[in-house]
Structure 1
């Protein structure tokens, strides 16, 4: 048994490295003090992975890992490089299928033409990553980016400048991911990223500003053009709200009042509500048969509903066609 000291690195999962330690108490792979800039480490890293070396937390800033193959063949679980630092690393053409890379740093790394299928980058810094030609289908980035979480924390602590900077970084990351997804023909994924991109942009607007309010409305209304179902839900809600307004404010049909009255029995009131609902539908769709006519304040409601309905139907067609023709 060797008396040489082993690496002092211990991961957050309490996994220890068994490599020989250097002067700083850490091995070649885990020592940030060893400059690996430009070092061609493809073969060494592949051998280290095959020998079940601890890949978590490895420090490979600016290392040359082009064409590295880190596919854990024969196993359902890929290699785990969580907490690793691959700042500006060259990973062009790398094979990283099913790799776990959580809470690490890929900042400004080059993954051009790499296979990142099923990789998990949850909590990883992806700012400035070059995605050109990379296969990113089924890639996971988590519900929130690392900078997104930091931005929300900074906002709660009233550190607005820090929050703004992090939201700007998030917007850039999501924009790059969206472009990469669209380049690969992954339009569903691209649609998700554009929603996140525009959401990050919204957070950069001043609170309570008109731009922020309008952006939030568009998000709720149609998910920035990516959620046609939202338009349908909005339409149904508007139709029912206006129907209730017509029922309470009153309309006329063939000279007879149509609306709620405490003097009427419940069957008559239900019938009048159904007539109000019918009138709301034809007004929303701008059909306007003319068999029911608004009176008094109902005319204002009808005008607003007709305008909103025509706009909503046109928007739904645009959003639906956009989704279906991808």
Structure 2
């Protein structure tokens, strides 16, 4: 009986070690997959440029006039962000979350916004010329005075204000 208890205890220890190693590996692999950016001061982001901001969370952040031209923002969250007059021309924003974002007057010429969530976004006066809006959700979005020349709007989801 004592020998059987030792074997069970050894198996429990081995299983515990395997679980701990697995947990450590998972934490290391996924630790940087979604980071939160806290920018309480507008000055902290003025003139900000970056090549890749994929998977980051800019929800509610003030980015008015920011230069984000040609940025790679795959699956980046901009929910409720202030992106008025931001330069986002040529940005790659596939699957980005722009729910309720203010993009009024933004330069989105040639931007890749396919599958992006633009629910209730304000795109008043935004330049979306030649932008890829394929399968984007524009439910409740305001596109008043937006420039849509050459934009790919195939399979758009929802009704929007124009």
**Structures share fold, TM-score greater than 0.5:** yes
**Deviation at residue 138 of structure 1 after TM alignment:** 1.0
Equivalent in the alignment of 1:92: 79
**Correspondence 1:127 to 2:114:** yes
**Closer/same/farther in 2, CA of residues 47 and 37 from structure 1, 3 Å limit:** farther
**Closer/same/farther in 2, CA of residues 140 and 48 from structure 1, 3 Å limit:** same
**Closer/same/farther in 2, CA of residues 187 and 114 from structure 1, 3 Å limit:** closer
**Closer/same/farther in 2, CA of residues 95 and 131 from structure 1, 3 Å limit:** same
1:70 is aligned, of 63, 70, 76, to 63
**Deviation at residue 172 of structure 1 after TM alignment:** 2.8
Inter-partner Cα distance in structure 2 for 1:66 and 1:92: 5
List structure 1 segments (4+ residues) > 6 angstroms apart after TM superposition: none
Inter-partner Cα distance in structure 1 for 2:80 and 2:145: 25
- CA deviations on 1:84-132 (whole Å, 9 max, x unpaired) are 1111011111011100101121110101011111111111111111011
Check the 8 A contact 2:55/2:73 in 1, yes or no.
yes
Equivalent in the alignment of 1:206: none
**Deviation at residue 49 of structure 1 after TM alignment:** 2.3
Check the 8 A contact 1:94/1:113 in 2, yes or no.
yes
Q: Which has the larger radius of gyration?
A: 1
Inter-partner Cα distance in structure 2 for 1:40 and 1:64: 5
Structure of higher RCO (CA pairs closer than 8 Å, 6+ residues apart): 2
Inter-partner Cα distance in structure 1 for 2:74 and 2:152: 24
Equivalent in the alignment of 2:99: 112
Report matched runs for 1:272-283 at 5 Å: none
Inter-partner Cα distance in structure 2 for 1:127 and 1:186: 17
Equivalent in the alignment of 2:38: 42
**Deviation at residue 185 of structure 1 after TM alignment:** 5.9
Inter-partner Cα distance in structure 1 for 2:44 and 2:32: 16
Structure 1 or 2: more helix by fraction = 1
Structure 1, unmatched stretches of 5+, are 1-34, 72-77, 147-169, 202-325
Structure 2, unmatched stretches of 5+, are 1-30, 156-161
- The alignment of Structure 1 onto Structure 2 pairs a total of residues equal to 125
Check the 8 A contact 2:122/2:142 in 1, yes or no.
no
Inter-partner Cα distance in structure 2 for 1:107 and 1:45: 27
